[in-house]
Amino acid sequence: MEYERKNSPAIPPKERICNWQEFHTPLSEKERSVQACRCMECGVPFCQAGVDIMGRTTGCPLHNLIPEWNDLVYHGNWREAYRRLKKTNSFPEFTGRVCPALCEVACTCNLNGDPVGGKETELAIIEKAYREGWAVAEPPAVRTGKSVAIIGSGPAGLAAADLLNRRGHLVTVYERFDRPGGLLMYGIPNMKLEKRFVERKLKIMEEEGIRFVTDADVGKTLEAAKLTAEYDRVLLACGASKPRDLNAPGRDADGIFFAVDFLRGNTKALLDSGFEKSGEVNAAGKHVVIVGGGDTGNDCLGTCIRHGAKSVIQIEMMPKPPEKRTENNPWPEWPNVLKTDYGQEEAIEVFGGDPRIYETTVKEFLKDKKGKLRAVRTVKLVWETVDGRRVMREVEGSEQELPCELLLIAAGFVGAQEYVADAFGVARDQRGNVQTDACGFKTSVPGIFCAGDMHTGQSLVVKAMRQGREAARAIDLDLMGYTNLVVQ
């Protein structure tokens, strides 16, 4: 009631696009303490609820004890705040950077003003813990002798590994690429999550006894049968890594890439050589079109601007959201409002206007004589209700040609890649996700569990972490006959 919300200041767009570093300057501890004291310590803290309302999650899926560590920070008891944070969150150094702050969406202060800045306080707590030497390796005192193989080192796999290792099981994490971290390493660009922070945590996990095996593509270069024979239990946490394609005439043109491949190649080139070696897809001097208006599309936008693209357009099939909540979208529902993220902010500064075009899709890819992409033909869409369902219809005569030498498809994912599930013989549902039992994580094959996006479909990092933690508890119960793992 006494203090206004204050965010960590961001480096101006035209300055930050000159490098690949994170671009927010943290508030001082005194300023952060003031922000923490804005928390009203509600009798019913919606911020930690993590419930689905009208198909969207509001509140923290991890059920972080937000009012508690806000109060501890306000009173200067940072170490206890760290202890409370670690009870529910395996990786606050990640969620404090990339989570869309579902806690803030549910904050009661939204009713009369701006929400409490829980996400930035979370990040401040964990970074102080590292500076003070509190966030160190804590290997388990006793080992159970049971072993678990985790396939995939993204947020779900890492969260499960953290809890299973803490319980005393021997955990080995298999990653098909050359570095562990999954989506955290290769799916999120460096300016959004600097990889030194991922590597810092992975090093601690190794010190705690977790083993990481890279370049291990289970189902291709490594046999699934070998793992099921060597380990007591196996957890599949490979993500929803099968991208949704865009089928239109000219799709075979040279210059069309999936966003996930583009972002992975960019980060790998940055980490391997600082872009000194050629070979990665580069947007420098090109007209770029990004198909998809979500977070991945925005990450592609920021990446292309840092490459030095000549122009970048972001195409979105859905209508432009309203700038403020509508009457049928009240708090604490997720606000379906216009969000201008860092990539769009940078595009506005560099190119002089919002790069997004709504209610539009690509109708045709146009090639030059050498088969290279030179332009795209787009068409406007209109949404209509037919038999109670919303359907799209092309607007006749609305075709437009846009120059394009690089097109990135960021239209989401359609489930897990089949070969991993097929290698273990687990059943999948109609959406391509791995099926599990009523308890939530056991697959159709005894001893094989599944969690994260491979189980639920494409979702958020924080939700994948929650899945990983719950799967760890289910595996521990299956192995030991009881469990003392607490996931909330």
Closest Cα to residue 287, out of 261, 307, 313?
313
Phi, psi (degrees; rounded to nearest 5) at 361: -145, 165
CA–CA separation, 39 and 343 (whole Å): 30
Residues 6+ positions from 474 with CB-CB distance below 8 Å: 439, 440, 441, 442, 449
Residue position matching structure tokens 């979105």: 316
The pLDDT score that the predictor gives to residue 161 is 98
DSSP 179: S
CA distances 216 to 12, 173, 221, 390, Å, are: 41, 10, 6, 43
- Tell me the pLDDT tens digit for each residue of 66-93: 999 999 999 999 999 999 999 999 999 9
The pLDDT confidence band at residue 431, using thresholds 50, 70 and 90, is: confident
Q: Which of 28-32, 250-254, 279-283, 348-352 has the lowest mean pLDDT?
A: 279-283
- Tell me the pLDDT tens digit for each residue of 107-130: 999 998 999 999 999 999 999 999
Average pLDDT over residues 419-433: 93
The pLDDT score that the predictor gives to residue 390 is 86
The pLDDT score that the predictor gives to residue 280 is 82
The pLDDT score that the predictor gives to residue 250 is 97
The pLDDT score that the predictor gives to residue 277 is 80
Query: In this model, does residue 147 exceed pLDDT 80?
Result: yes
Q: In what order do the strands lie in the sheet with 406-409?
A: 256-258, 406-409, 287-291, 311-315, 356-357
Average pLDDT over residues 347-351: 97
Average pLDDT over residues 332-352: 96
What's the farthest any 2 CA atoms get from each other in the chain?
71
Average pLDDT over residues 207-223: 97
The pLDDT score that the predictor gives to residue 385 is 87
Structure tokens at 45: 């803290």
Average pLDDT over residues 261-284: 91
pLDDT above 90 covers a percentage of the chain that reads 91
The pLDDT confidence band at residue 430, using thresholds 50, 70 and 90, is: confident
CA–CA separation, 360 and 395 (whole Å): 10
The pLDDT score that the predictor gives to residue 246 is 94
Residues 6+ positions from 161 with CB-CB distance below 8 Å: 150, 171, 173, 205, 210, 468, 472
| Residue 207 identity (one-letter amino acid) | E
DSSP state string for 284-348: TT-EEEEE--SHHHHHHHHHHHHHT-SEEEEE-SSPPPPSS--TTS-TTS--------HHHHHHH
Kindly give the residue spans of alpha helices, DSSP state H, lying in 99-194: 102-106, 118-132, 155-167
Average model confidence (pLDDT) across the chain: 95
Question: Going from the N-terminus, what domains does the chain have, and what CATH number goes with each?
Answer: 13-132 (1.10.1060.10), 147-241+414-480 (3.50.50.60), 256-409 (3.50.50.60)
Average pLDDT over residues 445-463: 96
The pLDDT score that the predictor gives to residue 438 is 80
Query: In this model, does residue 104 exceed pLDDT 80?
Result: yes
Average pLDDT over residues 179-206: 98
- Tell me the pLDDT tens digit for each residue of 398-422: 999 999 999 999 999 988 889 999 9
- Tell me the pLDDT tens digit for each residue of 221-270: 999 999 999 999 999 999 998 999 999 999 999 999 999 999 999 999 99
pLDDT above 70 covers a percentage of the chain that reads 100
Average pLDDT over residues 24-34: 97
The pLDDT score that the predictor gives to residue 486 is 84
Residue 437: Cβ-neighbour burial (10 angstroms; 0-12, 13-18, 19+): exposed
